[in-house]
Every structure is written in C-alpha cells, then in structure tokens.
Amino acid sequence: MASTIAVLGTLDTKGPEHAYVAELIRQRGHQTLLIDTGTGAAPAAAPDIPREEVAVAGGVDLPGILARRDRGEAVTAMSGAAAALLERLAVSGRIQGVISLGGGGGTAISTAAMRALPIGFPKLMVSTLAAGNVAPYVGTKDIVMLPSIVDVNGLNRLSRALLARAAGAICGMVEMEPPAADDKPLLCASMFGNTTECVNAARKILEDAGYEVLVFAATGTGGRIMESLIESGMITGVLDITTTEWADELIGGVLNAGPTRLEAAGKAGVPAIVTPGCLDMVNFGEPATVPEKFKDRLFYQHNPQVTLMRTNAQECAQLGHILAEKINAYTAPVTVLIPRKAISVISAPGQPFHDPEADEALFASLKSHLRVDIPVIEMDCEINAPEFAAACARTLLQQMQG
C-alpha cells in the first residue's frame, strides 16, 4: 500500500537533491510531501509545504528572524518549528516516514524534527556529519544516519547513486510492516557485561510470569533511552540492576546518562527494583584517554578500547547518597537490593576491583539516606548469584501484583 514520505530539507541550498530523492520515491509508488526548512534564498525546488507554513506551525516569526540575519537563531527557530510540524503530520496520519539530506544546519534542523517522532516511525538522515559523533543528533530516537560521502551540493555520479540507495532505504522502511505486538505488559532492565547473568536469570522469571522485558545496555545512551520509555508510560515495572552510569556522571567517565538518570520511574509512578550494580567502575576509552589526574588510581583493561577505573570509598559514599535521593522521589513501590559480596564480576573476592571498604561506604551511604519506609534487602552473595537474580525478579512481581 502506498505511503506518504516527508522529504524535509533546506530547499534554498539543497533543492535539486531533495527533488531528486522525492522523484525516486514516487517512482516506487509512494507519495511525497516536500517540506522547505530553508532560511536563506528562495527555494530551488517547489515545496508542498513552504517555509512560511513550517514557521507558523512552530509559532516562529520568520520575517523578524530573517531581518536580523542571525543564521544560528534561524536554524534554532526552524528546528523547533519543523519538529512541531512533523509531529502534527505524523499524529494526523499524513506521513508514514521522513527522509532528509543536509550539512551542518540541515542536519540540525531535520534531526530535531525527527526526534519529535515516536520510536518505530521510519526516519533517515543523509548527512555530511554521519561519520562522526551523531549522539547529539540522534538523541534517544531511532534515526538512521547515512554518511553522504560527498557534500550534499549538486547531483553527480556518486551522489546520485548514494541518494538513490537512500530513497530505496526509506521506501523499504515504510513498506515493512512491523510484527503485530502482543499484549504482554512491558518491563525494562538495565544491564552491563558484568551483570548479564543476573539480568538474564531475572528476565527468565519475569517472562515466565507473563511479562515482556526490554533490556538496555547501561552505556549512557542506553540509560537515556530507558528513562525516556519509562516516562512515556509504556513501562509497567523497572528492574534497574545496573546503575553504573551514575559513576560516570559523577566522576567524568564516558558512559554517563546525564543527571536525570533514575528519575523516570518516580515521575511515571511505576514499581521499581534498584541495585548498586557496577558502581565499582568508571568507564574510559583507551588507556591514553584517561585524564592525567587519575594516574595513580586502580585500573582494569576490559578490552583494548575500554579502561575501567575503580571507584574509591569517598566516591562510593557520594554515589550512595545520589541513588538514595533519586529513589526517595519514587511514589510507587520501590525496593533496594544489595549484593554484599560483589556489585560486579570484577569486585568479587579475589578479583581486581575487590574493595570491601569502598563497597561498605556505598552501602552505608545508600541506606542512611533512604526514606525509612523504603525496603532494603541485603544478601550475602554476589550480584550474579542465581538467588540474587531471583530475589530481584520476585520482589518486582510482588510490587506489581500487590
């Protein structure tokens, strides 16, 4: 069945390129909606939705902004306006997918608009920036970033071939119907390599009880995505086994999820289990990337690209306090579970990060700052012990069912 695909971009500088992609999409039997987000010269391709209409959708005074000749202000304003328009078009069913081509400004505008769309909605960005750090552009959404290889500036042998593939890709995305969703309630869990056994064992118990469990890697991006899904209202319960991203946030590691990590469950009012999983480690890249101020600390080379630093007692005390403050804001049932023998594989007795003093500082701080009505279950085992995984899963089931 034919779909309508939004072809979104700055048609003043990238008009022929967007028109070319739109024509290829139509040749595949789909309809297009060519949307102009340009803020410079007149569009070089005739839009279906002109920039003035885009501006109105976002409440933007486009003539006033253009009169000030501030490109940064114009890009920012059009980013918000395009997001408002695209969201409205998607909600009303007028579009079933979106594709854009751009350099720096065009990528900023179009990906801001794409981030306003739900996960699962087809989104493809052909960009000169796609081979670099795309995290600021993708955010927590499933935006496909395709490197443009050459600048998006004219049609030539190479750009035509690449843009044709891009057009085919967005057509394939809208043509592929997702499998029918079942009606099992959704749970989410946070996991690291060091907590995989625990999460997998707990997940099995929860799935046997009739739930579907989404597992997110605690890599910064994973934590942010998990938090956004919890806030969206899609999640029934939270198994937050791996809160390690807070160690990176506090100390300056590379896998931080931002200062709002652990807040979504409280805002959404969903039952949760929280453990101090992997708060013994801070993540850095290759050894040469570790800041000089940490040169005397204890490290573990996880792989050639990942260097782990052991958190010390002072940092652990701070982390315990932070977790308690976040958990204290929860309104639905929440339980803290503590595996006293090890909070990761490598903090177990005989392992490189075994540090009972630091662990005790973490546990004591967490317990002392928690609300008195929040249950704490301490177990004399390691985090990946089957009995700990079972306790986490069964406690969450009790909270959701009671």
**What's the distance, Cα to Cα, between the start and end of the chain in Å?**
46
pLDDT in tens, the chain (402 residues): 789 999 999 999 999 999 999 999 999 999 999 999 998 889 999 999 999 999 999 898 888 887 888 778 888 999 999 999 999 999 999 999 999 999 999 999 999 999 999 888 999 999 999 988 898 999 889 999 999 998 888 899 999 999 999 999 999 999 998 777 678 999 999 999 999 999 999 999 999 999 999 999 999 999 999 999 999 888 999 999 999 999 999 999 999 999 999 999 999 999 999 999 999 999 999 999 999 999 999 999 998 899 999 999 999 999 999 999 999 999 999 999 999 999 999 999 999 999 999 999 999 999 999 999 999 999 999 999 999 999 999 999 999 997
Is the sign of the CA dihedral 348, 351, 355, 359 positive or negative?
Answer: negative
The CA dihedral of 194, 196, 197, 198, to the nearest 10 degrees, is: 90
Distance CA 341, CA 338 (A): 9
CATH superfamily to which 186-401 belongs? Uncharacterised protein family UPF0261, NC domain (3.40.50.12030)
Those residues with Cβ within 8 angstroms of residue 330's Cβ, 6 or more apart along the chain or in another chain:
265, 266, 272, 374
Q: What are phi and psi of 5, to 5 degrees?
A: -115, 125
CB 199 within 8 A of CB 189: yes
92-120: per-residue pLDDT in tens? 999 999 999 999 999 999 999 999 998 88
Beta bridge partners of 303: 306
Query: CATH classification of 4-175 is 3.40.50.720, yes or no?
Result: no
Residue range(s) of every CATH 3.40.50.12020 domain in the chain: 4-175
Assigned token pair, 86:
């695209």
Residue range(s) of every CATH 3.40.50.12030 domain in the chain: 186-401
CB 230 within 8 A of CB 389: no
Please spell the DSSP secondary structure of 323-358, one letter per residue. HHHHHHT--S-EEEEEETTBSSGGGSTTSTT--HHH
The CA dihedral of 341, 258, 369, 399, to the nearest 10 degrees, is: -70
